Chains A and B, each alone.
Chain A
Amino acid sequence: EPEVTQTPSHQVTQMGQEVILRCVPISNHLYFYWYRQILGQKVEFLVSFYNNEISEKSEIFDDQFSVERPDGSNFTLKIRSTKLEDSAMYFCASSDLGADPEQYFGPGTRLTVT
C-alpha cells in the first residue's frame, strides 16, 4: 500500500541553525501539507502546497519557514533559523485531487532544538 515517508525520524539541532525536513508523498497525489505537533498538544496546520505553490498557510508559517518541491518526488520544509519553540513533531501529508479529502500522513520527524 502506498505511504508517505519522512526523513529523518529524529533531528537534533542547535538554536539558530537551519534544518530541512524531507518528505516523499504518495506518488500520484497532488496536494502536500506540513503539520506540527508540539509535545502534548494538538496537531496544527502549517502549510499546503499545490501546483508548485503555497495554496494555504497558517499564522505559524512565518518567514522562517519555507517549502519546496525540488523534484518530482520530494517535498521539503526548511526552517531557516531554529528556535527552541520549534521543537515538535512535524508531519507531512498528501492527498489526491478528487472528491475524497482524506490526507495521508507520514510517520513524522521529531525535531529537537537545543
Chain B
Amino acid sequence: AQSVTQLGSHVSVSEGALVLLRCNYSSSVPPYLFWYVQYPNQGLQLLLKYTSAATLVKGINGFEAEFKKSETSFHLTKPSAHMSDAAEYFCAVTKNTGNQFYFGTGTSLTVIP
C-alpha cells in the first residue's frame, strides 16, 4: 500500500525566503511522486513529478523537488518565495499507470510581505 505524510499543515515564510514543504512517502514498490498546487476555489495544478528518471526534478514557477529513496522523501523547495505562491500544496504517490493517487493532507503556504 502507498501513503504520503506531509509534515506541517501550515507553513509561513517571508517573501524572498526559502520555501520548504515536506513530503514523506511509504510504498511497497518504486513510487511515482507528484506535487500539486491548489489556489482557493480552484482545481489541482501539477507542479512537478518524479517518474523514476532524474532524482532532482524541476517544475513550474521555480519549484523543484528531490527524490531521496534512503529517506523516503520528496520535499518541495523554492529558493525565493513570492506572494503568488500562497496556496495549498499536496503531495501524491502512485505505484503505476492506472492506479489511484494517494494524496497527503496538504500544506497551506502563507507568504508574509
Chain B residues with CB under 8 A of A95: 97-98
- Counting CB contacts under 8 A, is A33 at the interface? yes
Contact of A31 among B41, B43, B51, B97 (CB under 8 A): B97
- Counting CB contacts under 8 A, is A45 at the interface? yes
- Number of B interface residues at 8 Å Cβ cutoff, please give it: 24
- Counting CB contacts under 8 A, is B70 at the interface? no
CB distance from A74 to the nearest CB of B (A): 18
- Number of A interface residues at 8 Å Cβ cutoff, please give it: 29
Which residue of the partner chain B has the closest CB to A110?
B41
Chain B residues with CB under 8 A of A106: 43
Chain A residues with CB under 8 A of B104: 42
Q: How far is the CA of A84 from the CA of B43 in the complex (A)?
A: 22
- Counting CB contacts under 8 A, is A108 at the interface? yes
Contact of A102 among B46, B100, B103 (CB under 8 A): B46
Do A91 and B51 contact each other (CB < 8 Å), given the known contacts A43-B90, A45-B102, A101-B99?
Answer: no
Which residue of the partner chain A has the closest CB to B45?
A105
Do A100 and B51 contact each other (CB < 8 Å), given the known contacts A42-B105, A42-B106, A107-B42?
Answer: yes
- Counting CB contacts under 8 A, is B14 at the interface? no
Chain B residues with CB under 8 A of A50: 98
CB distance from B64 to the nearest CB of A (A): 17
Residues of A within 8 A of B (CB): 31, 33, 35, 41-45, 48, 50, 55-56, 58, 91, 95-108, 110
Query: Closest 8 CB pairs between A and B?
Result: A45-B100, A107-B43, A43-B103, A101-B97, A105-B44, A42-B105, A31-B98, A101-B32
